[in-house]
Chains A and B, each alone.
Chain A
Amino acid sequence: MSQLEIKDLHISIGDKPIVRGLNLTIQQGKVHAIMGPNGTGKSTLAKAIAGHPDYTITEGDVRLDGKSVLAMQPDERARSGLFLAFQYPSEIPGVSIANSLRAAVQARLAEGEELDATAYYKKLYAKMDLLKIDRKFTSRAVNDGFSGGEKKRCEILQMAMLEPKIALMDETDSGLDIDALRIVADGVNAQRSGPSAPGIMLITHYQRLLDYIVPDYVHVLWDGRIVKSGDKSLALELEAKGYDWLKQELAPATA
């Protein structure tokens, strides 16, 4: 069983510290929701773990199955089992989804090993059917001119094809209407069972997503740290009382 251990993690953008001593362990097959108001470091956490060059990890460690990923390039991190589902996926004109996904699958094969194209397309079409994605979709350029819902489905499709050990899902619900949200959530839930189910860090601002992707754990990120953890009822409590409630509750502790 794979696991991601985040230990005393400090992340800066330039000189500005954003995440300040974060600890979290994610087991394969479990969904950890990370909630918190804007600007508390949720997206920073996901992108830094994936290796985005704009973020500097100043202290702490991130280990996948006991092995630190911090010295790895983003592509190595991905091949070792991490996946980032972007909040705002890049549009890449001229590069088709089929070609980029193929390159990603090919990159995971041993040198000299050729991709089994028949098996690849069979799997791709099965995953697309599951996500209610039209077959024509794969010849389109990655995210180019996609609606919000299409972009997020495209992210989930890639996740389904690449079968990561740990998926970092950054605000997967943003920009989705309720129908699109359902489809995306179904796509994620379909990957939650079975021996290769990834561990998921599900970053969200709203409780709404958690009605559809029910988390095993909920953590509240505040000012660069996890200040409260619980089960799904914590999300409901936050939804009912708002982040201000938490602010007041935390006030004596942080004063």
Chain B
Amino acid sequence: MSVASSTYLVGSFTPEAFEQSLARCAHLPAWWLDRKRAAYARFAAAPMPQRTNEGWRFSNLSTLTLDGFNLPAPVRFDQLAHRELGVTGAGHLVFANNRLVAAQPLDASTAGAGIIFDTLQNALLQHGDLVKSHLLAQPSKLGSDKFAALHEAFLEDGAFIYVPKGVTATLPVGVFHYASGAGAAVFPHTLVIAGENAKITVADFFRSEKPAEAHFACGGNDLYAGHGASVTYLAMQDWSRATLSFQFNATVARRDARVLSLNLHAGARQARHESFSQLQAPGAHSEMLALTVAHGTQEFDQRTLQIHQAPNTSSNLLYKNALLDQAKTIFSGLIVVDADAQKTDAYQSNRNLMLSDEAEANSLPGLEIQANDVRCTHGATSSRIDREQEFYLESRGIRAAQAQELLVFGFFEEVLGKLEHQELHDRLTEIIREKFRNQ
């Protein structure tokens, strides 16, 4: 066992490394730098997750190393094998190694409507109050407070999306986050603020420049949907198979707001995803969706919390995992219904499709209900490919591997079908298909 010395607690993320990162942010507002310093102090003081911590039950802790990583040098856009969003006219930002390397601004009419799509650094300088109210404003409640603090301390830049009252963004926006170079540590962030009755779709892509390099990725997103707003957020995590990945989501839905977030988990050797939805006012709805394709010895660790804080709120969580080889998934979800959140309608479901006898799926669904007039259902299932279905497809001449792929897509369709944008749906499908082809 390791000794809890200070080097053990910070690994590669030493005070010197922090100062180096902070120096690159020196032009940013003082309040933000103060927050980063406080975050670094919390990170350095917090112990690594312990076996006794319920929030890390079933997780492999021995592989959660902070050593061997570095704050990477800049890379040029032309060094990346970048693929466009595939939506004509849509804006995008491309970050590589924590810096902006390319941008396609919004077209004039969209920008004219008051939508802001810019870097976090620019937003900190120009819209400081907005950023201050929403950036990492929600507490870390799912066990990764140490890594969430690390994210805040080293977060240098990311995407900022603001849609003002009554404005609908007709096209989605894309944010690409790349990691490049052996041991590169990246800290991506996407902040989405939708004002009253505003509507926006945002797609986040996470990708390693080379498939064999090991990276440390510690990213987050904040989704805020104001009164009557609608936010659709899609994240496609496709880091290299040697990457250690953390992703933190905080969703806030105000009165009659609707947030749909869909996370695809394909990459990394070990990926922890924490998703926290707060239904803060009547009529708020959060749709929490995830698809995982787990191969080899990958571990996907998903922790979720749906808090209903007001009456007549609803949430629907559906996490579907397909497991192959010796892969492992963990789903731990909790629905909390506050005492005055009557007429809550909350659903939580984790479905695992076992494509191998050696794969391991762990499910820990949970409910904590203080109100007495609610409808809350939760469940977890694990199943195999149905032999009759497989035979049916094979009897049409479809090869076994292809039949399995079709059946996995069939299993995923319940989630995929909720994505309205055809191009994004196709892109998502393609990443899943590539993963099957390159297993």
Interface positions of A (Cβ within 8 A of B):
50-53, 73-75, 77-79, 83-84, 86, 89-95, 99-101, 103-104, 107-108, 141-142, 158, 162
A95:B395 contact, CB within 8 angstroms: no
Chain B residues near A101 (CB-CB < 8 A): 396
Q: Is B400 an interface residue (CB 8 A)?
A: yes
Give the docked Cα–Cα distance between A53 and B395 (Å).
Answer: 11
Give the docked Cα–Cα distance between A89 and B393 (Å).
Answer: 10
Once A78-B395, A100-B393 are accepted as A-B contacts, the answer to whether A94 and B400 lie under 8 Å apart by CB is: no
CB-based closest 4 A-B pairs: A94-B413, A94-B410, A78-B397, A95-B410
CB distance from B131 to the nearest CB of A (A): 41
What per-residue 1/0 map shows which CB atoms of B383-414 lie under 8 Å from chain A?
00011110111111111101100110111111
Name B417's closest neighbour in chain A (CB-CB): A94
A90:B386 contact, CB within 8 angstroms: yes
Give the docked Cα–Cα distance between A51 and B410 (Å).
Answer: 23
Chain B residues near A84 (CB-CB < 8 A): 395
Chain B residues near A92 (CB-CB < 8 A): 389, 392-393, 406-407, 410
Residue in B387, B400, B417 whose CB lies within 8 Å of A75: B400
Give the docked Cα–Cα distance between A99 and B412 (Å).
Answer: 14
Chain B residues near A51 (CB-CB < 8 A): 391, 394-395
B388:A90 contact, CB within 8 angstroms: yes
Once A52-B391, A53-B391, A74-B391 are accepted as A-B contacts, the answer to whether A94 and B396 lie under 8 Å apart by CB is: no
22 contacts between A and B (CB under 8 A): A50-B395, A53-B387, A73-B400, A75-B403, A78-B397, A83-B395, A84-B395, A90-B386, A92-B389, A92-B393, A92-B410, A93-B410, A94-B409, A94-B417, A95-B393, A100-B406, A103-B396, A103-B406, A104-B393, A107-B402, A108-B397, A141-B410
A104:B412 contact, CB within 8 angstroms: no
Give the docked Cα–Cα distance between A162 and B396 (Å).
Answer: 8
Chain B residues near A107 (CB-CB < 8 A): 396-399, 402
Give the docked Cα–Cα distance between A90 and B393 (Å).
Answer: 9
Residue in A78, A89, A95, A108 whose CB lies within 8 Å of B394: A78
Name B412's closest neighbour in chain A (CB-CB): A94
Name B413's closest neighbour in chain A (CB-CB): A94
Chain A residues near B387 (CB-CB < 8 A): 53
Name B411's closest neighbour in chain A (CB-CB): A94
CB distance from B394 to the nearest CB of A (A): 4
What per-residue 1/0 map shows which CB atoms of B361-400 lie under 8 Å from chain A?
0000000000000000000000000111101111111111
Once A52-B391, A92-B389 are accepted as A-B contacts, the answer to whether A99 and B396 lie under 8 Å apart by CB is: no
Name A93's closest neighbour in chain B (CB-CB): B410
Extra 13 A-B pairs, beta carbons < 8 Å, given A77-B395, A93-B413: A74-B394, A74-B395, A75-B394, A75-B396, A75-B403, A79-B397, A92-B406, A94-B413, A95-B407, A99-B409, A100-B393, A141-B413, A162-B397
CB distance from A24 to the nearest CB of B (A): 20
Name B403's closest neighbour in chain A (CB-CB): A75
B391:A94 contact, CB within 8 angstroms: no
B388:A104 contact, CB within 8 angstroms: no
Once A75-B403, A90-B389, A90-B392 are accepted as A-B contacts, the answer to whether A95 and B409 lie under 8 Å apart by CB is: yes
Q: Which secondary structure dominates chain B's binding surface?
A: helix
Between B387, B388, B407, B417, the greatest number of chain A beta carbons within 10 A of the residue's beta carbon is seen for B388
Chain A residues near B411 (CB-CB < 8 A): 94
B201-260, CB < 8 A from A:
none
Name B415's closest neighbour in chain A (CB-CB): A94
Chain B residues near A142 (CB-CB < 8 A): 392
CB distance from B426 to the nearest CB of A (A): 13
A75:B399 contact, CB within 8 angstroms: yes
Residue in A52, A73, A99 whose CB lies within 8 Å of B406: A99
Give the docked Cα–Cα distance between A104 and B397 (Å).
Answer: 6
Give the docked Cα–Cα distance between A228 and B420 (Å).
Answer: 59
CB distance from B117 to the nearest CB of A (A): 34
A100:B398 contact, CB within 8 angstroms: yes
Give the docked Cα–Cα distance between A77 and B399 (Å).
Answer: 11
Give the docked Cα–Cα distance between A79 and B400 (Å).
Answer: 13
Once A53-B387, A73-B400, A78-B397 are accepted as A-B contacts, the answer to whether A94 and B414 lie under 8 Å apart by CB is: yes
Between A83, A101, A103, A108, the greatest number of chain B beta carbons within 10 A of the residue's beta carbon is seen for A103
Give the docked Cα–Cα distance between A92 and B411 (Å).
Answer: 9
CB distance from A17 to the nearest CB of B (A): 22
B398:A103 contact, CB within 8 angstroms: yes
CB distance from A90 to the nearest CB of B (A): 4
Chain B residues near A93 (CB-CB < 8 A): 410, 413-414
Chain B residues near A52 (CB-CB < 8 A): 391
Name B387's closest neighbour in chain A (CB-CB): A53
Give the docked Cα–Cα distance between A11 and B403 (Å).
Answer: 26
B413:A95 contact, CB within 8 angstroms: yes
Between B395, B400, B406, B410, the greatest number of chain A beta carbons within 10 A of the residue's beta carbon is seen for B395
Once A74-B391, A90-B389 are accepted as A-B contacts, the answer to whether A95 and B406 lie under 8 Å apart by CB is: yes
Once A94-B414, A95-B407, A99-B406 are accepted as A-B contacts, the answer to whether A89 and B399 lie under 8 Å apart by CB is: no
B398:A104 contact, CB within 8 angstroms: yes
Give the docked Cα–Cα distance between A237 and B403 (Å).
Answer: 44
What per-residue 1/0 map shows which CB atoms of B407-438 lie under 8 Å from chain A?
10111111001000000000000000000000
Chain B residues near A90 (CB-CB < 8 A): 386, 388-389, 391-392
Give the docked Cα–Cα distance between A162 and B387 (Å).
Answer: 22
Chain B residues near A99 (CB-CB < 8 A): 406, 409
CB distance from B383 to the nearest CB of A (A): 12
CB distance from B313 to the nearest CB of A (A): 29
B391:A100 contact, CB within 8 angstroms: no
Chain B residues near A53 (CB-CB < 8 A): 387, 391
CB distance from A236 to the nearest CB of B (A): 32
Give the docked Cα–Cα distance between A142 and B386 (Å).
Answer: 14
Between B393, B396, B402, the greatest number of chain A beta carbons within 10 A of the residue's beta carbon is seen for B396
B239-291, CB < 8 A from A:
none
Chain A residues near B409 (CB-CB < 8 A): 94-95, 99
Name B406's closest neighbour in chain A (CB-CB): A95
Chain B residues near A83 (CB-CB < 8 A): 395-396
